[in-house]
Amino acid sequence: MYSALYVQHLLQGPFPQRTDPWGEDDHYFQQLHSGLIAALVQQLMELMLRGYVIGTSFDPHPNPPPYMGEGTGPRGMDSPNTGEGTGPRGTDSPNMGEGIGPRGMDSPNIGEGIGPRGVAESARLGAITATTPLEALWIRDGQTGDLITIIEILSPGNKTLRGISDYADDRHEYLLSGVNFVEIDLTRSIRRATDHDLTRLYAYHLAVYLPHDGLRIIGMAFDQPLKRFALPLKGEVIGVDLALAYQEAYQKRQIAAQMVLDHHYTLARLPFPTLISSTETQALIEQVNAWVDQLEVLKNQSGSL
C-alpha cells in the first residue's frame, strides 16, 4: 500500500506547474488529448445556462442538416455526420486513414519508434495506431443548432506536411461558414499549423480565428505555466483556464505514472531535444531526478506505515 503523499507526488509528475515535455510523445499525448477535451467540457458546462450545447466529434459539420424524420441513427434519428460527404470538404470518413484529415496521423510516434525495454512502439499495451482519430470540441446554439465555435487540440501526428495542409483546409471551411476556430498547440515542432512570427517564437501557442475579425495568437513559453484565454462565442466570450485543464488531464490519465512504469523519463526519449538548449535539457533532467528521488523517499515511508 502507498501513502496518499506518494500517490499525489506521482500524479503531479516532475513538472506540476507546467507541461511535461516527455508527455509530448504521441503515445501519451493522445491520452492527454482526450483528457484535455473532457476537462474543457467540464469547465464550459455553465454555457448551458447561456443557451449553448457542448459536444465532441471526430468531424463536426459546419452546418448540421435539420431533422428529416426517422433515420437510421440512435433512437430513430438521422446521423448526418457519419455518412458520405458530411466532412468539411465533402469527404467520406476523412479522419480514418493515414494523414488525410485534421486528426489523421501519418506518424503515431515522434520518437525513435521503440518502446520501453526495446519493445516496438506498435506492440505497446493499448498502443494508439495511425488510424485512431482524435476528437474536437464543438459549441452549438441551443436554439438554432448552429455551430458557433470549434476547439481543436493539435497532436504530434497532425504535424506532417499533408496533415497540416488538410487541417488548414478544414479550418478555412469553418471560417467561411462563420464558425469561430480555436487552435491549441501544446507540442513542440518545427512545423506549425499556424505559420506566424509568434508561433515560431514560442514553444506552445493558442490561435483564435474569428470569421470577421482576423487572427489572435497567445504564445506560451516552454518553461512557464499555460495561460488563460477568452473563448469566443456568439457575441460574447468566456474565460478558459488551460493550465487547470492540462493538470486535470495529466493527473486523471496518470501520465507520469505510466511513464515511470515504461522507463520513459530518459534523455533518449525526450521528444525534439534539438528544439531546446543544452542548459534547458540539463535542468529538465535534474528536475526529473529530484522528483524520482523524492518518490523513492515517499515510497519507503509508505512501506514503514
pLDDT confidence tier of residue 83, bands split at 50, 70 and 90: very low
Give 90's contacts (C-beta < 8 A, 6+ positions apart).
none
pLDDT tens-digit map of 84-136 = 343 444 333 333 333 333 333 333 333 333 333 333 333 344 433 344 568 99
pLDDT tens-digit map of 255-301 = 999 999 999 999 999 999 989 999 999 999 999 999 999 999 999 99
In 3D, which of 140, 165, 163 has the Cα closest to residue 150? 140
pLDDT confidence tier of residue 78, bands split at 50, 70 and 90: very low
Q: How far apart are CA 229 and CA 238, in angstroms?
A: 8
Q: How far apart are CA 35 and CA 32, in angstroms?
A: 5
Q: How far apart are CA 27 and CA 130, in angstroms?
A: 11
Each domain of the chain, given as residue ranges in start order, spans 4-303
Query: How many Cβ atoms are within 10 Å of 200's Cβ, its own excluded?
Result: 12
Q: Quickly tell me which residue has 489523421 as its cell.
A: 104
Q: CA quadruple 291, 40, 179, 168: dihedral positive or negative? A: positive
pLDDT confidence tier of residue 146, bands split at 50, 70 and 90: very high
pTM for this structure? 0.77
Q: How far apart are CA 109 and CA 17, in angstroms?
A: 25
Q: How far apart are CA 292 and CA 45, in angstroms?
A: 37
Cell matching residue 65: 442538416
DSSP readout, the chain?
Answer: ---HHHHHHHHH-S-TTS--GGGGSHHHHHHHHHHHHHHHHHHTGGGGGGTEEEEEESS--SSPPPP-SS-SSGGG---TTSSTT-STTS-SSTTSSTT-STT--S-S-SS-SB-GGG-BGGGSTT---TT----EEEEEETTT--EEEEEEE--GGG-SHHHHHHHHHHHHHHHHTT-EEEEEE-S--S--SS--HHHHHSSEEEEEEETTTEEEEEEE-TTS---EEEEE-SS-EEEEEHHHHHHHHHHHTTHHHHHHHTT--SGGG-SSGGGS-HHHHHHHHHHHHHHHHHHHHHHHHHHT-
Q: Quickly tell me which residue has 533532467 as its cell.
A: 285
- Among 13-17, 70-74, 176-180, whose mean pLDDT is lowest? 70-74
pLDDT at position 168 over 70: yes
pLDDT tens-digit map of 170-196 = 999 999 999 999 999 999 988 899 999
pLDDT at 177: 94
